[in-house]
Amino acid sequence: MPGTVYDPDTDDVVQAELAAAAREADLREAARIAARADELQALRELGTLEQTEPRDGDEAVRDELTRRAGGDVQSDVDAWLAHALAAHLGHYRDSAARQAAASLLSPPVLAHAALLAELARLVPGVAVD
């Protein structure tokens, strides 16, 4: 219509394309989480989980592992994440990632990490390990 201004927010084709792109991004993220969950599960089964460092997004992977396998895996992964958080390993080297962990990890994991960090602080020369 002459004199009207085009608004992509009201364009059904544009909105459909945006929605499809968002769904595709969600699917890619779900696939990334599933692949990392497979990797961490394999490392756990090999007894080498503690030798790997956490990556950005592993908090969501923890949730996926818990959904898949339940409490045994959750306790192992929780302990691994708590240790990494306390020792500032992996992406937890970044203070912003440690701050974000407060909203991404469960209170027991955060408490475990805080205890490990405090023990390391109280006993000079003792590592978080």
pLDDT digits (tens, 9 = 90+) for 31-49: 999 999 999 999 999 999 9
Domain coverage including residue 99: 9-122
Token pair listed for 19: 């929605």
Model pLDDT for residues 62-121, shown as the tens digit of each residue: 889 888 877 777 888 999 999 999 999 999 999 999 999 999 999 999 999 999 999 888
Domain presence at residue 85: yes
Q: How many domains does the chain have?
A: 1
Domain presence at residue 128: no
Domain presence at residue 42: yes
Of 28, 29, 51, 49, which is closest to residue 39 (Cα–Cα)?
49
CA 70/CA 13 separation, integer angstroms: 43
